[in-house]
Amino acid sequence: MIDFSLTDAQREVQRTARTFAEREILPRISELDAKAEYDRSIYEKMGSEGLLGLPIPERYGGAGMDYIAFALLCEEMERADTAFRVILSVHTGLNSLTLLQWGSEEQKQQYLVPQARGEKLATFGLTEPGVGSDAANLATTARRDGDRYILNGSKIWISLADTADHFLVFANVDRSKGHKGITAFIVERSFPGFSSESLHGKLGVRAGNTGILTFSDCEVPAANRVGEEGEGFTIAMSAIDQGRYTVAAGSVGLAQACLDASIKYAHERKTFGAEIGQHQLVKQMISKMYAGIESGRLLVFKAGWKKNAGERNTRETGLAKWYCTDHAVASALDAIQIHGAYGYSNEYPVERYLRNSKGSVIYEGTSQIHTLMQADYLMGYRKDKPLRMPQLPYEGEM
C-alpha cells in the first residue's frame, strides 16, 4: 500500500518550521541579503527550537524524527531563504548524520550531542581550491605523529567557515593510494594551526557565511579520526548522500516560493484590462512550476522512504537532487519573467530566488555530474554495492 499522507508529527514539523521562518527570517532577509551579512543568532534560535537536531535520535540530543520530516524542514527553510537550508545541509546532513553513522560513541557524546542540541555549530570540509568534483584527489595531507595527526592544506567554499565550532575535514594520509588514502577528522576551531576567513562577492546565499579553512601544521588528536585510515572517501560519499537529500528538499521549497510570489503578483498586476494571470502564457509558466514542485517532492519522498528503511539511496537521492535543483532555477527564471521589469529589481524577492538557485546546480555534485551518474546506472556501468545504510532509531511518531 502506498500512503502519501503526512503524520501528525510531520505536519507539526512543517508548521513549526514555517512559523519560525515567518517570525525570524522573512522580516530580516531582504536586509541581510542586501548587506551580505549572516546572523549567527538566527542559527542559535534554530538550535533552541530543536531544528538543528531534528533527525538525530533523542539519546544523542535530537528530536528522533524521520527523513520525511527532515525534508519538510529543509523545504520550509529554503522557502524563506537558501542560507537557512544550507545550515541544515552542512550542520545536520553532512556533519551530524555522518557522525551518527560513522563516529565512535565517545565522538558522539563529545560532538554530536551538543550539535544536535544546537549548542555548537558544525560544518563539512571536503572541497579544495583545486578539487571539486574530483573528490578523490585531495591535496590536504594528514601525517601521524604519535597520538595526533598533523594536517596541512586548505578547503574552500565551506559554509559556516568563519562561525562553526566543529569541522568534519578530509585529508590524505597517503596520496599514492588515491581515494584509499583519504581519512576523516573532527577539527575544533581552537586547535593549534587552524584558521579561517570569509569569502565575499557571492552571487547568492548572501545571508550565509562561506569561506576558506587553512591547516598549517594543525594538530588533531588521533581520537578525533573518524573511522579508520583510508575510510574517508567512503565516509565522505555517504555524507554527500545526506547533503544531496537536503539540497533536493530545499530546492522544492525555493520553487514553491517562486510559485507563491508569481501567483500573488499575477493577481495584483493587470494588463489589457485583466489580471495577468488570465493570460495563457502566464498560466503556462505557473502550471509548469506547480508540476515540477509536485514531481520533485515525490522524488524527495521516495529517497526519504529508502533512507527511513536504512537502504542504499545514492541513485534515488542523486536523481532528486538533479531534478529539483534544475527545476528551482527554471522556476526562478519564470518567476522573474512573470514579474517583468519588477522581477529584475530587489523590490520583489524573485531576483534573490534566482541568485540563490544557481548555487544548488553546482554544489553537492553539478547537474552534469548527476546526468552522467544516472546514465551510468541505466547503462549498467555503475552499480552500487548492496550496502544497507544504518536505520535511524526513531523515537517520535512515524
- Where in the sequence numbering do the catalytic residues fall? 364
Specify burial of residue 28 (Cβ count, 10 A radius: 0-12, 13-18, 19+): middle
Distance CA 373, CA 307 (A): 19
Q: 264: Cβ–Cβ under 8 A, 6 or more apart, which residues?
A: none
Q: Which residues are bridge partners to 15 per DSSP?
A: none
SS3 per residue for 16-81: HHHHHHHHHHCCCHHHHHHHCCCCHHHHHHHHHCCCCCCCCCHHHCCCCCCHHHHHHHHHHHHHHC
Q: Which residue in the block uniquely carries the three cell numbers 554530536?
A: 112
Query: Hey, how many other C-beta atoms are within 10 angstroms of the C-beta on 272?
Result: 7
Distance CA 106, CA 117 (A): 17
Contact by Cβ (8 Å): 218, 150: yes
Contact by Cβ (8 Å): 54, 61: no
C-alpha closest to that of 217 among 194, 199, 198, 238: 194
- Eight-state DSSP code of residue 274: E
Residue 225's H or E segment, with its range, is strand 225-226
Coil vs helix vs strand at 282 = helix
All three cell numbers of 259? 510559485
Distance CA 228, CA 219 (A): 18
Q: Which residue in the block uniquely carries the three cell numbers 511518531?
A: 397
Buried b or exposed e, range 206-238, using 16+ CB within 10 angstroms = bbbbbbbbbbeebebeeebbbbebbbbbbbbeb
Q: 1: Cβ–Cβ under 8 A, 6 or more apart, which residues?
A: none
Specify burial of residue 12 (Cβ count, 10 A radius: 0-12, 13-18, 19+): middle
